[in-house]
Structure 1
Amino acid sequence: MSSLTGFRDQSFLDKISILNEVSMGKDIEDLEDLLDLFKNPIGDTSVDYMVVTALNGVLSSDEKSAVDLLSCDNEKIRVLCIRLCGEFKFATATPFLVSLAEKTDDSDLLFEVIVSLSKIGGDESVSLFRSNITNDDDLVASMCIEVVGTFKDEESIGALSDIVTRNNEDAYYEICDLTTWKAVEALTSIGSSASLSFIVDNLHHRNPTVRRVVTDCLTDLGAPAVPYLQKVITPDAEKDDMILAANVLGFIGDKSGLEVLMDALDKKYSTDSSVNYAIYEAIGSIGTMKGVISLIDGLDVDDELITLAVLTGLDRQVNPGVIKKMTEMISQGGSQAGKIIRAVVTAKALNIFAGLYNEGKIGRFMMNAVVASKDPEVRTAFREKLTEIGGDEATVDIARLPDIEEIAGKRALAVDDSKSMLALYRSILTSNGYEPSIAENGQEAYAFVEQGDEFDVVITDMNMPVMDGMELVEKLRFTDGFEKIPIIMVTTESETSQMELARKTGVTDFITKPFTPDQLKAKIAEYVS
């Protein structure tokens, strides 16, 4: 006899108590009465909710009944059973669900079936997912794309590639839709030679969001992505492709990528300073003793930004050999020595500073550069390092440092995923009388805005992980108070279409890497009096 006999005549508390017992007891004898209560609700929200819970409990213990009810005429019961079959991975439901999906024209019902089948798994449903990759309903298509990626279905590579390629065409590249995003992720998940080669070929996709998703996916993939990225770092590769490939190798941080980067420098694959800057920064990010050799060689390059990247990398793995070599180079004097000393201060290379501090005149020159800095953050960092070093001379040098003063006046927000670029921005901005706020991606930058910070100018990179420059600019332009703030985008991009897209998004002007501090100051002065 069912526990629910005479249920409708019971008090509220008794109804709740009975349904709790039914839910826990999972007795199939209660199924018919539960179905009746589900079809003809009591009208009390709490009780009706408990009916659903109890029905789920009973059906979860009886796979046959749950599958049989997939053919029920009642739409709500059918949907409940579709979800339940997925939640409890009832494999015998697969042929019924596939048949239902093939027959229905209801996109909502199809989505329910797709979700359920994705949880059940198995080869029987793969062809259904594959055939719906290009479904007109984006939610259905995106779910199917995600599932074929999870199943590593190589037969889907062609259709997935077509989605990404279409989003690169003139009529579509300005917006990254959900299906393109999911297609990139699915192709990376499949992980075959064909799919990964295609992903790397789209490192410089015309849509910045797609570029970011490609970068994130390859970074998450890690070492298996290195051989495919190696094919991009060649003497014949496009500049933009090489920069993005070097960035990803740095993000991955695997030693196998170091060989690729060092080979590019040794064989002089590129004379472009932006490419070589990206390579040196990536070598520094990987952080191996073998890479130190390349970084030290980079100190000979007459490019202030590359010197910053090199010193940022060397500071992470400084050793007596590094200090000895730098002492020799600085002792030779000249403009190169001055450039290295200034870069140590700008980059806040505190470990290198500590190693050189007791090297006679070199230590004095470095202290003079620290004292000359107008950046309160730099002064604080070196004051703390001198306190750590200790001794009479350090005490005297601490006294030489000006008191920390708040910079009054204009404020600037600088955004870049490169630590050396951020160090350069801080130096340029503070020397120009700005109080800088810095962030490594658009999301960090927008957090300043959300907490109420105001700025006179924003300087942002275009290509960054987490949130790229385009997305940041778009969010800023829809934020009260930022509709007309000057936004200067710093980029290595050579394609005109990228500049046009950035202007549509709301960028005020551009400055192209490499640039000098004076060039950036002049660009800011055009828009901020």
Structure 2
Amino acid sequence: MGMLDSFRDMDFLDQITLLNEITGSKDITALPGLLDLLRRPLGDTSIDYMVVNALNAVLSQHEAKAVEGLASGHVGYRTLCIRVIGEYGFTSAAPVLTSLGEAETDPDQILEILTALSRLRDPVSLPLFRKHLTAADAFTSALCIEMLGAMGDAPSIPALMAIVQGNETDEAFERCEVTTWKAVEALAAFGTPETLTFLVERLHHKNPTVRRIITDTLVRIGEPVVPLLGARLESGDTDEKILSANLLGFIGHRKGADILVSAMDRGLASDPNVKYAVYEALGRIGTMKGLICLMDGVNEKDDLILMAVVMGLERHVSPGMIKALTALLTKADEQSDRLAKALIASKALRLFDALYEFEGAAAALMDALAESRDAEIIAAFREKLEEIGGERAEDDLDRLPRAESGTRKALAADDSRSMLALHRAILTDLGFEPLTAANGQEAYDIIESGEVVEVVVTDMNMPVMDGMELVERLRATEGCENVPVIMVTTESEASQRNLAEKSGVTAFITKPFQPEALKAKILEVLGR
């Protein structure tokens, strides 16, 4: 006599107690009775739910019975067996599940089978994953893409590449599909020269979100893509050179610094935007060759490039560097003034601390600091002077203006510290209190915190959240529907600007630009 033969005649509490006992004991002899209760449920939601739990527990300890259940004519029981097989890794079921999937036509059942097989990762299932690689259901397709990459299925590489390329067509580039995201990750998982070269060649993918996914993926891969990025820095167009330099900096490998220095030596960074990207990248890596190259950069005339140089040097202060900078600052010419202002605007506190020891350098820096209107910068250097102490520092503290935060606020978002420093200086000169963010998410968090801004200046390409998505979110946020947004970009393709305009961008300014140009653009969008 089975333990569940009289179950239907029991009191509710006795039924719950018995089902709990079966769930704990996982007694296989209860299986026939549980199956009967599944086929002919009592209609009580709690009891029916506990029957399924008990079946799950029993099958979890009896692989053969779970595999046998795949042939059941009861859809609910067969689905339960599929889930148990995947959850508990019953590898013997892989061939049976694959055969079941080949014959299945119901999309929901196909997804159940593929999900279970994704946990088993048996090569026998690869043809089934290939079959549904381009399924109409995006989740099914994404799962297949992910597994083909994880299982290293080389025959699927061309199809995965086609997915990424397909998202660049005129009909598809405006939206990043989940399948494209998964295809990028799958290609990266192969890690072959073929797949990595393909991803590097699509650094400037037409969809900004796909571009960000490719960028983040290549940074995670690291050293293996450094030579490929070097080749792109040499042969790519301007936008590709900029992105390649950025990635070499983010990866931070010494080989990347050698490539960047070589690019400067061979004139591959003659474009101001490329040069700016190279200097920023060298500052992140910090090799001896890179620092020598950065020191050559202190003679740059462009404000933004000079700030990139300064911020790179700020990360790697050394006695030799301080000696050379002191000599430049004490020349009292246009370039020394430009350099001093860049040091202050960049909030280069480590360099300031080291240079302040030398009276001539200190005087040049204090002249630049006394002209600042940025409350945050003045406060930072005030604190540093108080820390340095001494009679000269006391006198210099008295020279500092008592800057007050403005009542008008503006927001700038950019993943470049030197670009943010330039934005701060420009916004401060216009009488704004500048709020800054390193990516779109940080910028949106500022807005969500309740800050009210009169204008937003944002880069297009940023990690975490790019400028396009930031603008879309702003336009969907109450109170921000009509806030002017200026997008700073190096983009040359009309399609990118069209896409940005659709997201709600008010105006554009193209790098490189002079501070006065951005000031004029801000005043223009504000109607002044």
- Normalising to structure 2: TM-score of the pair? 0.97
Q: Which residue of 2 aligns with 1:56?
A: 56
Following superposition, the deviation at residue 199 of structure 1 comes to 0.5
**1:258 and 2:283 are equivalent in the alignment:** no
Q: Which residue of 2 aligns with 1:359?
A: 358
Determine the C-alpha separation between the residues in 2 that align with 1:332 and 1:398: 24
Contact 2:258 2:289 in 1 (8 A): no
Following superposition, the deviation at residue 257 of structure 1 comes to 1.1
Following superposition, the deviation at residue 63 of structure 1 comes to 0.5
Following superposition, the deviation at residue 324 of structure 1 comes to 0.7
Q: Which residue of 1 aligns with 2:497?
A: 499
**1:399 and 2:398 are equivalent in the alignment:** yes
Within 5 Å, which residues of 2 pair with 1:140-159? 140-159=140-159
Determine the C-alpha separation between the residues in 2 that align with 1:391 and 1:154: 68
Within 5 Å, which residues of 2 pair with 1:380-395? 380-395=379-394
Following superposition, the deviation at residue 333 of structure 1 comes to 2.8
**1:483 and 2:486 are equivalent in the alignment:** no
Choose the corresponding residue for 2:440, options 439, 442, 457.
442
Secondary structure class of the residue paired with 1:500: helix
**1:310 and 2:291 are equivalent in the alignment:** no
RMSD (Å) for aligned C-alpha atoms: 1.4
Deviating more after overlay: 327-336 vs 486-495: 327-336
Determine the C-alpha separation between the residues in 2 that align with 1:287 and 1:81: 57
Secondary structure class of the residue paired with 1:417: coil
Following superposition, the deviation at residue 400 of structure 1 comes to 2.8
Contact 1:356 1:363 in 2 (8 A): yes
Q: Which residue of 1 aligns with 2:378?
A: 379
Q: Which residue of 1 aligns with 2:93?
A: 93
Secondary structure class of the residue paired with 2:482: coil
Q: Which residue of 2 aligns with 1:160?
A: 160
**1:327 and 2:326 are equivalent in the alignment:** yes
Q: Which residue of 1 aligns with 2:415?
A: 417
Following superposition, the deviation at residue 32 of structure 1 comes to 1.0
Q: Which residue of 2 aligns with 1:73?
A: 73
Instruction: Report Cα offsets for 1:104-138 as digits up to 9, x if no partner.
Output: 22111111111100101121111211222112221
Contact 2:489 2:511 in 1 (8 A): yes
Give the letter aligned to residue 277 of structure 2: A
Choose the corresponding residue for 2:469, options 468, 471, 476.
471
Give the letter aligned to residue 351 of structure 2: I
Give the letter aligned to residue 426 of structure 1: R
Following superposition, the deviation at residue 3 of structure 1 comes to 3.7
Following superposition, the deviation at residue 381 of structure 1 comes to 1.0
Contact 2:369 2:378 in 1 (8 A): yes
Deviating more after overlay: 300-309 vs 396-405: 396-405
Q: Which residue of 2 aligns with 1:245?
A: 244
Within 5 Å, which residues of 2 pair with 1:216-295? 216-234=216-234, 236-295=235-294
Contact 2:439 2:466 in 1 (8 A): yes
Give the letter aligned to residue 489 of structure 1: M
Contact 1:3 1:22 in 2 (8 A): no
Instruction: Report Cα offsets for 1:235-292 as digits up to 9, x if no partner.
Output: x420000001111111111222111111111111131000010011011112334421
Determine the C-alpha separation between the residues in 1 that align with 2:47 and 2:429: 69
Instruction: Report Cα offsets for 1:135-187 as digits up to 9, x if no partner.
Output: 22211111100111111222111001111111111221111111111111111
Instruction: Report Cα offsets for 1:375-433 as digits up to 9, x if no partner.
Output: 1110111112112212222223223323352212x221111010110111111101110
Instruction: Report Cα offsets for 1:189-209 as digits up to 9, x if no partner.
Output: 111111111111100111111
Contact 1:345 1:366 in 2 (8 A): yes
Determine the C-alpha separation between the residues in 2 that align with 1:41 and 1:285: 65
Deviating more after overlay: 272-281 vs 167-176: 167-176
Determine the C-alpha separation between the residues in 1 that align with 2:126 and 2:258: 40
Stretches of structure 1 lacking an aligned partner (at least 5 in a row): none
Q: Which residue of 1 aligns with 2:424?
A: 426
Give the letter aligned to residue 183 of structure 1: A
Q: Which residue of 2 aligns with 1:343?
A: 342
Determine the C-alpha separation between the residues in 1 that align with 2:367 and 2:436: 25
Seq. identity, %: 50
Determine the C-alpha separation between the residues in 2 that align with 1:321 and 1:243: 30
Determine the C-alpha separation between the residues in 1 that align with 2:112 and 2:494: 44
Question: How many residue pairs get matched?
Answer: 527
Contact 2:366 2:396 in 1 (8 A): yes
Following superposition, the deviation at residue 97 of structure 1 comes to 1.2
Secondary structure class of the residue paired with 2:513: coil
Determine the C-alpha separation between the residues in 1 that align with 2:111 and 2:287: 49
Secondary structure class of the residue paired with 2:233: coil
Following superposition, the deviation at residue 44 of structure 1 comes to 3.0
Determine the C-alpha separation between the residues in 2 that align with 1:293 and 1:446: 38
Q: Which residue of 1 aligns with 2:201?
A: 201
Determine the C-alpha separation between the residues in 1 that align with 2:41 and 2:347: 69
Secondary structure class of the residue paired with 1:489: strand
Give the letter aligned to residue 373 of structure 2: K
Stretches of structure 2 lacking an aligned partner (at least 5 in a row): none
Give the letter aligned to residue 46 of structure 1: S
Determine the C-alpha separation between the residues in 1 that align with 2:335 and 2:233: 29
Give the letter aligned to residue 435 of structure 2: S
Q: Which residue of 2 aligns with 1:514?
A: 512
Following superposition, the deviation at residue 42 of structure 1 comes to 2.9
Within 5 Å, which residues of 2 pair with 1:9-20? 9-20=9-20
Give the letter aligned to residue 173 of structure 2: Y
Ranges of 4+ aligned residues in structure 1 off by more than 6 Å: none
Following superposition, the deviation at residue 29 of structure 1 comes to 0.3
Secondary structure class of the residue paired with 1:233: helix
Determine the C-alpha separation between the residues in 1 that align with 2:342 and 2:250: 23
Give the letter aligned to residue 467 of structure 2: G
Determine the C-alpha separation between the residues in 2 that align with 1:287 and 1:170: 41
Secondary structure class of the residue paired with 1:42: coil
- Normalising to structure 1: TM-score of the pair? 0.97
Determine the C-alpha separation between the residues in 1 that align with 2:91 and 2:187: 27
Following superposition, the deviation at residue 11 of structure 1 comes to 3.3
Determine the C-alpha separation between the residues in 2 that align with 1:413 and 1:95: 58
Determine the C-alpha separation between the residues in 2 that align with 1:35 and 1:430: 74
Secondary structure class of the residue paired with 1:485: coil
Determine the C-alpha separation between the residues in 2 that align with 1:416 and 1:228: 26
Instruction: Report Cα offsets for 1:461-494 as digits up to 9, x if no partner.
Output: 0111111111111111122222221110000111
Determine the C-alpha separation between the residues in 2 that align with 1:334 and 1:398: 25
